[in-house]
Amino acid sequence: MTIVRILGAAAGGGFPQWNCHCQGCETSRSGGVRALTQSSIAIRSNGGDWFLINASPDVRQQIELMRADNCFPPQNNNCFAPQNGRSVPFAGIILTDAEIDHTTGLILLRESSQPLKIYSPDRVKFALTTGYPLLSTLQNYCGVDWSPLDAAISLSSDLEVESFALSSKPPKYMQDATRSPDEVWGVGLTIRDRSTGKTLTYAPGLAEIDEAMQRRLNASDCILIDGTFWTNDELPALGVSSRSARQMGHLPLSGEGGSLQELARLTTPRKMLVHINNTNPILIPNSAQQQAVGIQGVEIGCDGLMFEL
């Protein structure tokens, strides 16, 4: 049995975002809705080690919350047990892309007494050793033990991870360093528990749902899906950015061809949104948009949510 934990359900900036005054952020500040940390999940199979999937700038707080929730029982011989000194509580870290909100947490783990075991696509390593050289920087701290995130990797005897290309959009800081339009800058993951046969598909940056993706989602027992924006022009309409949701590589939830319509058609038992931007009205309690999501049988992810796969 695999345990999945949402460490952070918000997109980059978190909820509320430090400089944002949208309705959701102000509601959160006044205590009307719980704050959310930035995008990350963790998984563990059968009482074994935890694996971190994406390392957000809020990872320190997220680890402390895991500890408070007894995710690291001291009697358990995991890598966070006191006898293992100041190591890192994750046996491995998987990066789906090189975006700032999914990688900045790596630098906060530099106090580890062991090299960080990191799996990522090749382009992500390139970004993190050039445009945003976190991996190079870590060499003089804890060190990094990097492995390619090949099509399929085995994390433990029970846990298998398949990665599939999702995005050819580089992070903004690498936009001038791309060589070809087919480069894979972002992947999704299908995590399979071999002992139960159950699967989870994680896709925090989803630009489109084509037929192959539809099949993959339908074949999963649970999906954690890009819930960044409600509308395509969400940021331009608020006057805070010129880039549309689609230009940023995020299929908006609403409207014709939006992801909510697609998600409603899927027979997947559990469908949940993650990587939710603070401007997304689904975060506002009882908003029409939040209700619309619920009516379609789609859950809105929140920090600390744990479930069995």
Which residues would be at the binding site for Mn ion (CB under 5 A)? Answer: 11-12, 99, 101
**# chain residues binding ligand MLT, by CB under 6 A:** 9
Is residue 248 close enough to count as binding ligand MLT by CB under 6 A? yes
Which residue ranges make up the site for Zn ion (CB under 5 A)?
Answer: 20, 22, 25, 278-279
Q: Please, which residue, 24 or 249, has the CB nearer to ligand MLT? A: 249
Residue 172's binding partner, choosing from Zn ion, Mn ion, ligand MLT, none, with beta-carbon cut-off 5 to 8 A by kind?
ligand MLT
Is residue 99 close enough to count as binding ligand MLT by CB under 6 A? yes
Is residue 134 close enough to count as binding ligand MLT by CB under 6 A? no
Question: Of 7, 9, 12, 92, which lies in the binding site for ligand MLT, with binding defined by CB under 6 A?
Answer: 12
Q: Please, which residue, 16 or 170, has the CB nearer to Zn ion? A: 16
Write the interaction track for ligand MLT spanning residues 101-130; mark x where CB under 6 A is met and - where it is not.
Answer: x-----------------------------
- 3-state SS string over the chain? CEEEEEEECECCCCECCCCCCCHHHHHHHCCCCCCECECEEEEEECCCCEEEECCCCCHHHHHHHHHHCCCCCCCCCCCCCHHHCCCCCEEEEECCECCHHHHCHHHHCCCCCCCEEEEECHHHHHHCCCCCCHHHHHCCCCCEEEEECCCEEECCCCEEEEEEEEECCCCHHHCCCCCCCCCCCEEEEEEEECCCCCEEEEECCCCCCCHHHHHHHHCCCEEEEECCCCCCCHHHHHCCCCCCCHHHCCCCCCCCCCHHHHHHHCCCCEEEEECECCCCHHHCCCCHHHHHHHHCCCEECCCCCEEEC
Is residue 234 close enough to count as binding ligand MLT by CB under 6 A? no
- Taking the complex as a whole, the smallest distance from the CB of residue 193 to Mn ion amounts, in Å, to 27
Scanning 16-24, 56-64, 94-102, 291-299 for contacts with ligand MLT by CB under 6 A, the matching segment is 94-102
Is residue 172 close enough to count as binding ligand MLT by CB under 6 A? yes
**In the complex, which residues of this chain contact ligand MLT (CB under 6 A)?**
11-12, 99-101, 172, 205, 248-249
